[in-house]
Every structure is written in C-alpha cells, then in structure tokens.
Amino acid sequence: MNKKKIVAIVGSFRRDSFNRQLAQKAQEVLGDRAEFEFIEYADVPNMSQDIEFPTPESVRRIREQIKAADGIWIFSPEYNHSYPGHLKNLIDWLSRPVSKEERQVLSRKPIAISGASNGLGGTVTGQDLLVMLLSMLNADVMNFPRLRVPNAQDQADENGVLHLKDSLPYLEKQATAFLKYLDRG
C-alpha cells in the first residue's frame, strides 16, 4: 500500500506557536506511517478579485501541495471563538475554482482538525465554525475524533516548549483514526 501524504496547515504565525508544535508532535506520532509536509502560507495576499488572475504564485504553490496530498490536517488556535482571519483568507483563496475546467481543491479532500489554546475550551468553538465552513466547501471533514488541547500553557515548560503530558494519547488516537479515514476508499 502506498504511504499516504498529509499536509499540515497551522493557523498561527506566532514564532513559538503551540499549534505549530502540536503539528510537529503529530508528525512525530505518525512517524513513517505517512508522509507529512507543512503548508507555509504567510506570503498569501489578502483575497481580492482584482488579483485573482493570474493566480498569485503562493496560491498556485499551495493548490499544488493540496492536490498532491491525500489529506489535510489543520492545527489552529481560535481567535475570539472563531478561526483566525489569515486561515479564513487562505481558505477563501482555496475555495475558488482553479480554472473553468478544474474545481476548487478542497472539494472531497479529507480533513482532520486539532487545536491548542490557552483557554478552557481548547478551540472547540473555532473548530465547530471551521467544520461549518469546510463542509460548505464539500470537504470530507473527519468529525470524530477532533483534538482539543485546553490550557496549553499547562502542558508546556517555562520556555514555552509543549510536552503534551496529558494530550499525547489523544493525539496518537487522532493520528491513527485519520490514517484509517484516508484508507476508507
């Protein structure tokens, strides 16, 4: 069986982001069971139909990464109980058809969602809104299990390094579940 390819989208640009660290842990947990690659999107411009065509190079690059992937794993904080604006901007770009012949790249794409936050809810509201958005775009969201890491600072050391002492088993379960989800045919 071919190894599945998973691309990670991190919903935070913070240098020491807990969500980026969570994604790195997911990569470790998957080990050699999957290929894992980060989608970097800080260079994606704000969506404006004035610059939609010709497609900006950053958007073209990311669409190719997504087309080549079997699944997407989103790791995102919530900002004010929703997904961060830059993540919405990326999804707005990806929601547009590639050309007259080719539909948008999120359609039928399997997606897993995880999130870490400093709050009690561990991104639950932001995740729910993300599910609504991605479902509208006909993505195949894996609704269960989704991973929430509440009070992430309590699972990090004084240098901000995330150790996930409580959440690691749940990350392992989600990784295995996502591999199965990708295999479901």
Ligand X SMILES: Cc1cc2nc3c(=O)[nH]c(=O)nc-3n(C[C@H](O)[C@H](O)[C@H](O)COP(=O)(O)O)c2cc1C
Residues lying near ligand X in the complex (CB under 6 A): 12, 14, 17-19, 77-81, 117-119, 121
Which CB atom, from 3 or from 13, has the smaller least distance to ligand X?
A: 13
Which CB atom, from 83 or from 181, has the smaller least distance to ligand X?
A: 83
Angle at which helices 57-67 and 85-94 pack, to 10 degrees? 80
Q: Which of 172, 47, 65, 58 is nearest to 109 (CA)?
A: 65
**Is the Cβ–Cβ distance between 8 and 153 less than 8 Å?**
no
What is the nearest approach in angstroms of ligand X to the Cβ of residue 144? 21
Q: Which of 10, 40, 16, 15 is nearest to 160 (CA)?
A: 16
What is the nearest approach in angstroms of ligand X to the Cβ of residue 171? 15
What is the nearest approach in angstroms of ligand X to the Cβ of residue 44? 18
Which CB atom, from 17 or from 104, has the smaller least distance to ligand X?
A: 17
